[in-house]
Amino acid sequence: MHAEASPRLWILILGVSLAALALKIGLLAADAFPFNSDEAIVGLMARHVLQGRWPVFFYGQVYMGSLDATLVAGAFGAIGANVIGIRIVQCLLYLGTVATTMLLAQRYLGSKRAAVAAGLLMAIPTVNVTLYSTVSLGGYGEALLLGNLLLLLTLHINDHPTNAWPYIAWGLLAGLGLWAFGLTLVYALPAGILLGRRLWRDPSRRWRKSLGLLGGLIVGAAPWIWSAAIQGLGPLLSELGGSAIAVERSTGPLTGILWRLNNLVVFGSTVAVGLRPPWSISWLALPLAPIALGFWMGVVLHARDGLRKPWKGRALRWLLVGVCAVLALSFILTPFGGDPSGRYFLPLAVPMALIGADLLEKLYRLSGRRLVYVLLALVLVFNLWGTIQALLQSPTGLTTQFDPVAQIDHDYDAELIDFLEQKGEYFGYANYWVSYPLAFHSNEELIFVPRLPYHPDFRYTERDDRYPPYDEIVEASPQVAYITTNHRELDEYLRSSFTDMDIAWSEARIGDYQIFYALSERVSPQEIGLGRTTP
């Protein structure tokens, strides 16, 4: 069933979008989201774009393009290079996701009530969705919006197969998504299967449509294709498959799959429905948790039943289940499944909202409005309660860091910058979670490259060092300082190493930061056994 968007629907979309915006403004005003290194890299890339240095990919990760940084550069050009500019872009992207979710519900489920319910489930979502749709990690907001647009366009083509232009547009979106963030493949693969099925069943101008789709794909993915031509296809495909974030220890294939399956079932399900925050195992909004859990279990059963019966919107249901299936398989079969935090479950939000709204519509027809409205309200209250509780319980706010060693109190960043400038310590070494926020907040006057470990067992990966030009600056400096965070063993290691080399130094502590400065002799981490995979 297909219905055009009416003026009333657009008014409803505006109202729900304002509710989503109000939640984000409230959390931003409460300073709920710490500014971490991944987001700082986006800001630094955006600043470099404005300086005429446009990177093709996210610094150090070629499975994610620079679309997000390019959009943030536009915000920086308008209001200046600051953290709020990054967040504004994410908020706008998410408002687009809320709006397109409501369009999907109304057009292919055929009900404005379902559209409002789906929109509200997106506007007041779980803490996981709230977190990763407000801060930037380089492309999650774009992936959600591009995914929704792909679903809308695929369903349009399925209903109107005679036109050729939508195939070009579909190729452009899919190609752009491939470059922007490989996560969009969870949408493109099931959508592409439905598109291929339509092409096969409708021979009219098949070659023209296929060529248009291919041409759009090439144009949309042009930055990705250009990079593959220069550096080879292998590295790009390897990182697209998860090599860039591989965190597993050496295990057999079956053991790895079982471990990732555990992450999916135990950690993924609980964060997706809002039972816990993505950074810890602590239960949220427990009095309402049974109601929310029961509702989402009902959604799963409703999704299964919807595939069996020729109801309206069946094509949409197949696409939504396809998105969930591709996401689950990708999580289990690739190194991405080694990350249990919740960020990779973000694409589940739209299928959950749409199928949940469809279930509420069914209950409305069966039992009347009061029960349905109460149930929806309780789920929304559960989401909001969980978000507020997670914020109050976390010492560092709604954080993207699920490893406690990476959770740094950034309230002391300004004091740290003032101290370093007063002491004339502009260059040196730190860990990943210190280096890039420090560079961004100081307008790249303070360059401390991430050559120090932050894990208690001294594990270190050279991938932490994302931007080679910073290495050249630090290597050219005759004076360096060291900054550590909450790592007593590393602090003692540095003191012992400096003593063994007859190097004098001074120390200061500011918040979570331990600063070793005024070294009598320049020494690099490599010279004292650091800055490599193992110390």
For residue 2, the model assigns a pLDDT of: 46
Q: Coil, strand or helix: which one is 114?
A: helix
For residue 181, what is the DSSP state?
A: B
Distance (Å, whole) CA 128 – CA 96: 18
For residue 258, the model assigns a pLDDT of: 87
Distance (Å, whole) CA 284 – CA 399: 16
For residue 251, the model assigns a pLDDT of: 59
Distance (Å, whole) CA 123 – CA 26: 13
Token pair 């495909």 is found at 237
For residue 533, the model assigns a pLDDT of: 58
For residue 260, the model assigns a pLDDT of: 87
For residue 453, the model assigns a pLDDT of: 93
Instruction: Render 209-254 in DSSP notation, one character per residue.
Output: HHHHHHHHHHHHTHHHHHHHHHH-HHHHHHHHTTGGG----S--HH
For residue 535, the model assigns a pLDDT of: 45
129 CB-near residues (< 8 Å, 6+ apart): 122, 346, 349
pLDDT tens digits for the chain (535 residues)? 444 567 888 999 999 999 999 999 999 999 999 999 999 999 999 999 999 999 999 998 888 999 999 999 999 999 999 999 999 999 999 999 999 999 999 988 878 999 999 999 999 999 999 999 999 998 999 999 999 999 999 999 988 877 788 999 999 999 999 999 999 999 999 999 999 988 888 777 788 888 999 999 999 999 999 999 998 888 888 888 877 665 555 456 788 888 889 888 888 899 999 999 998 889 999 999 999 999 999 999 998 887 776 655 778 888 999 999 999 999 998 888 877 778 899 999 999 999 999 999 989 988 878 889 999 999 999 999 999 999 999 988 999 887 778 888 888 999 999 999 999 999 999 999 999 999 999 999 999 999 999 988 898 888 899 999 999 999 999 999 999 999 999 999 999 999 999 999 999 999 999 999 999 999 999 999 997 655 4
For residue 232, the model assigns a pLDDT of: 87
| Residues facing residue 485 across a β-bridge | 513
For residue 72, the model assigns a pLDDT of: 98
CA separation, residue 269 to residues 182, 402, 510 (Å): 22, 16, 39
For residue 247, the model assigns a pLDDT of: 52
